[in-house]
């Protein structure tokens, strides 16, 4: 038999949440692919020193690592690696263990060092031979070193990828801290200057500003004009005159003015506290390494796992001619990119900032970064820029309505939409409690369901969960289509902005189809998908789904701790999601589930029998290691018969006393409390896009609207693009109506990875249900089984 290929994994540079997920995925995928995985402790230091710092790993060694913060294999600066002698020692240490493939998770500096190491490898081998350390025959299998990089960085500062491992976890820590600070700031009517990490990259500061509704931000890529002092003071003064009691300014540690001079938190504090100016009671909070700490959020766990799996495949497929690659995420897809090109593009940003070419620096960031910057400027300076106002005749009256169950980000979307409307001179109007409130309570006294927004109140909604204007599952047809049409005419709405899940999508299709009968419905309508189930056709992402996954992962971490403490126990967790297995599958990826049951695949007795056998074998081999608890996730509609409770009882019965099982049902807790930063930021960006789309139509354009498919649309994220799709296209081509979900889903392939990394062996896949005439004929014996 040929010797197994040996792959080493190491973490380097600054730690970031999710690095342990990378190591776990690489170790288990390597074993699955028939390789021997090794880990190098203490980064490049361990590579140079060798010995017991390079260790072989087994499957069970990485159990429970997904929920751990930092990096469990350590990271350390290593000056010796900068010298050739250090790199020679590193090469010798790898060869002594039979390793010729290396996966490195770190920042751009760590990855640059890895590429240089690979380029030097042939000469290092020659030197080892010349020194008599090894013979040519011994070195023959190790003539080439294959390296694959993954980016672990909280700054999200590597070009060519939408996100780096750890960035959303760090953003989550920042937003959590700002949310806490806001409470005390409001109590004392204080101003807070909050410094966050980001020497050459303002991603954390900008996204935190968008997510928390901060008053002002400073980022390295886009310094303010020379009058930044006057600009900041005028915005803060405007907010205070409106009645706002708190002021939040977020500053990146690398913030500069247009001449390259550093702007410090102390400078900003002195300006806000100046008795001759605003005279605000001002404090500085530097968050520091709190941003790096803690366990990874659901998105970073998903990213770390998928990229780790891809890294193992890439290193096995690499040839001596293959350029060193880095694993990135673009358009919801895990991709391989040339490492040094990504590093060079990243360094261009720092050089552009240094040379004060700030337009180039912004241009080198992705389109979402620039768009979020414009979104932030628009929402923080509401009604201040008179140049944005439209002529009177082009201003519209736009109704805001939430339909379906609450989802994280709904309020942030409403806030952003209202801010844009006010900046343009439109009249945004809230329709409280969905179509049910519209139809039956629009004229209630003293407060009806239809009323104008109070910006001072709405401005505080950025971080609020649920739906402040209420929401309801009732469809227009149930409320009475004629009633709805008459009310739209009565209140003279020029457009409708609908936020919600599958019911909201269904409502838009009903309103569109009713246009022939009710001319007042010939107004532009757009839907912003918001549901924890992520089952709205026309988009790969719905607001609220990220918040839901964070809540589910946190719940499962606690349950798994309980299961681990008692060692031989399985918890069967029921997830929400309707007839879409998105939440269960991504949740399983984030918590390392032993099995996931989804509506798309179904559940059968044979499948359960296979899983029971597997669990028995797993627990039989368990010699008392910690973290031995197991989780199984089942979607609430995966089966009409096999519920979480029943499966837990079957497991308990079939275990015959060898292990325990319990069920856990987080229920509506999955809708979340405070929305995640990702949901908040995307809500702002997408809501503004929606209002911009609606305002293209203007007022009294009934005939144009009736014949334009783009007048009734769903906004969606498809790949890296934000697109509007006509509802006619979505309902006819993309919707699985009986199952209330899209016909195709980008995440379906992730279930195989959950099974592989959970160690689940092959199982009997449930048969598809027969329906209609075919089912009747088979039952009657007319057709064969």
153 assigned to a ligand binding site: yes
Q: Which of 147, 7, 153 has the alpha carbon at shortest distance from 71?
A: 153
451 assigned to a ligand binding site: no
34 assigned to a ligand binding site: no
402 assigned to a ligand binding site: no
614 assigned to a ligand binding site: no
74 assigned to a ligand binding site: no
The DSSP code for 120 is H
What's the 3-state SS for 614-654? HHHHHHHHCCCCCCCCEEEEEECCCCCCCCHHHHHHHHHHH
156 assigned to a ligand binding site: no
341 assigned to a ligand binding site: no
685 assigned to a ligand binding site: no
356 assigned to a ligand binding site: no
Phi, psi for 575 (deg, rounded to 5): -105, 155
What b/e string do you get for 246-281 counting C-beta neighbours within 10 Å, with b at 16 or more? Answer: bbbbbbbbbbbbeeeeebbbebbbebbbeeeebebe
CA distances from 229 to 218, 251, 279, 377, 532 (A): 12, 14, 14, 16, 42
The answer to whether 11 and 19 are in contact (CB under 8 A) is yes
118 assigned to a ligand binding site: no
155 assigned to a ligand binding site: yes
Active site residues: 155
531 assigned to a ligand binding site: yes
154 assigned to a ligand binding site: yes
667 assigned to a ligand binding site: no
670 assigned to a ligand binding site: yes
CA–CA dist 538, 742 (Å, integer): 8
243 assigned to a ligand binding site: no
- Local structure of 518: helix, strand or coil: coil
Cα of 488 vs its chain's centroid, Å: 37
- What token pair was written down for 597? 């049951």
- What token pair was written down for 699? 């007022």
- What token pair was written down for 700? 């009294």
Supply the DSSP string of 54-87, one letter for each residue.
EEE--GGGGTTGGG--S-TT-----SGGGSHHHH
199 assigned to a ligand binding site: yes
Q: Is 24 exposed, middle or buried (0-12, 13-18, 19+ CB in 10 A)?
A: buried
680 assigned to a ligand binding site: no
The answer to whether 101 and 7 are in contact (CB under 8 A) is yes
Q: Name beta bridge partners: 11.
A: 105
Phi, psi for 719 (deg, rounded to 5): 65, -135
Q: Name beta bridge partners: 54.
A: 40
Question: Annotated binding site for substrate, which residues?
Answer: 153-155, 190, 197-199, 253, 283, 289-292
Question: Annotated binding site for Mg(2+), which residues?
Answer: 108
Question: Annotated binding site for ATP, which residues?
Answer: 14, 77-78, 107-110
Question: Annotated binding site for beta-D-fructose 2,6-bisphosphate, which residues?
Answer: 473, 531-535, 569, 576-578, 636, 662, 668-671, 740
Question: Annotated binding site, which residues?
Answer: 14, 77-78, 107-110, 153-155, 190, 197-199, 253, 283, 289-292, 473, 531-535, 569, 576-578, 636, 662, 668-671, 740
């Amino acid at each position: 038999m040929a010797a197994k290929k040996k792959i080493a994994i190491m973490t380097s540079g600054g730690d970031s949440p999710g690095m342990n997920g990378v190591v776990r995925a690489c170790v288990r995928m390597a074993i699955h692919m028939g390789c021997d995985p090794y880990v190098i402790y203490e980064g490049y230091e361990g590579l140079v020193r060798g010995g017991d710092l390079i260790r072989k790993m087994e499957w069970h060694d990485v159990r429970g690592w997904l929920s751990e913060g930092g990096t469990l294999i350590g990271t350390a600066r290593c000056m010796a690696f900068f010298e050739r002698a250090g790199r020679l020692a590193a090469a010798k240490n790898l060869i002594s263990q039979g390793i010729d493939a290396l996966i490195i998770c770190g920042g751009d500096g760590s990855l640059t060092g890895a590429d240089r190491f690979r380029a030097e490898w042939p000469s290092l081998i020659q030197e080892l031979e010349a020194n008599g350390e090894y013979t040519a025959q011994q070195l023959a299998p190790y003539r080439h070193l294959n390296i694959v990089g993954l980016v672990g960085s909280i700054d999200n500062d590597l070009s060519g990828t939408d996100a780096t491992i750890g960035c959303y976890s760090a953003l989550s820590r920042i937003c959590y801290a700002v949310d806490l600070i806001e409470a005390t700031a409001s109590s004392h009517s204080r101003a807070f200057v909050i410094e966050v990490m980001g020497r050459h990259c303002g991603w954390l500061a900008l996204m935190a500003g968008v997510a928390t509704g901060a008053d002002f931000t400073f980022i390295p890529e886009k310094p303010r004009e020379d009058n930044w002092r006057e600009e900041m003071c005028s915005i803060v003064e405007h907010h205070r005159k409106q009645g706002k009691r708190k002021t939040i300014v977020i500053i990146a540690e690398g913030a500069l003015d247009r001449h390259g001079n550093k702007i410090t938190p102390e400078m900003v504090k002195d300006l806000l506290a100046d008795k001759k100016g605003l005279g605000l009671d001002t404090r500085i909070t530097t968050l520091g390494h709190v941003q790096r700490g803690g366990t990874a959020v659901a998105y970073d766990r998903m990213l770390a796992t998928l990229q780790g799996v891809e890294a193992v495949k890439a290193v096995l497929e690499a040839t001596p001619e293959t350029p060193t690659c880095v694993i990135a995420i673009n358009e919801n897809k895990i991709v391989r990119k040339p490492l040094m090109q990504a590093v060079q593009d990243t360094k261009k940003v720092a050089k552009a900032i240094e040379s004060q070419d700030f337009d180039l620096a912004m241009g080198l960031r992705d389109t979402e970064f620039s768009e979020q910057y414009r979104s932030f400027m628009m929402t923080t300076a509401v009604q201040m820029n008179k140049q944005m106002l439209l002529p009177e005749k082009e201003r519209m009256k736009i109704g805001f309505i939430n339909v379906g169950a609450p989802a994280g980000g709904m309020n942030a979307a409403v806030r952003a939409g209202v801010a844009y409307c006010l900046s343009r001179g439109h009249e945004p109007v809230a329709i409280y409690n969905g179509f049910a409130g519209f139809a039956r309570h629009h004229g209630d006294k003293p407060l009806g369901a239809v009323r104008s927004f109070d910006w001072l109140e709405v401005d505080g909604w950025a971080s609020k969960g649920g739906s402040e204007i209420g929401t309801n599952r009732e469809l227009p047809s149930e409320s009475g289509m004629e009633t709805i049409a008459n009310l739209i005419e009565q209140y003279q709405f020029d457009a409708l902005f609908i936020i919600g899940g599958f019911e909201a999508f269904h409502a838009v299709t009903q309103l569109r189809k009713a246009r022939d009968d009710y001319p007042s419905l010939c107004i532009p309508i757009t839907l912003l998908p918001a549901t924890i189930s992520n089952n709205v056709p026309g988009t790969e992402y719905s607001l609220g789904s990220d918040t839901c996954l964070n809540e589910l992962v946190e719940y499962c971490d606690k349950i798994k701790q309980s299961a681990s403490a008692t060692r031989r126990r399985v918890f069967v967790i029921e997830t929400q999601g309707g007839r879409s297995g998105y939440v269960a599958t991504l949740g399983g990826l984030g918590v390392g589930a032993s099995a996931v049951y989804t509506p798309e695949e179904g559940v059968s007795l044979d499948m359960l029998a296979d899983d029971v056998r597997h669990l028995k074998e797993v627990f039989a081999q368990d010699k008392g290691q910690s973290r031995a608890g197991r989780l199984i996730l089942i979607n609430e509609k995966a089966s009409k018969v096999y519920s979480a409770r029943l499966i837990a009882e079957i497991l308990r019965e079939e275990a015959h006393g060898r292990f325990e099982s319990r069920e856990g049902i987080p229920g509506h807790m999955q809708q979340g409390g405070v929305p995640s930063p990702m949901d908040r930021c995307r809500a702002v960006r997408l809501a503004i896009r929606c209002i911009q789309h609606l305002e293209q139509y203007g007022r009294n354009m009934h005939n144009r609207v009736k014949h334009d498919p783009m007048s009734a649309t769903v906004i969606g994220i498809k790949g890296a693009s934000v697109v509007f799709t006509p509802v006619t296209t979505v309902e006819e081509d993309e919707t699985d109506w009986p199952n209330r979900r899209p016909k195709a889903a980008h995440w379906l392939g992730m279930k195989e990875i959950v099974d592989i990394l959970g160690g689940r062996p092959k199982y009997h896949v449930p048969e598809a249900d027969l329906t209609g005439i075919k089912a009747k004929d088979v039952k009657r014996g007319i057709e064969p089984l």
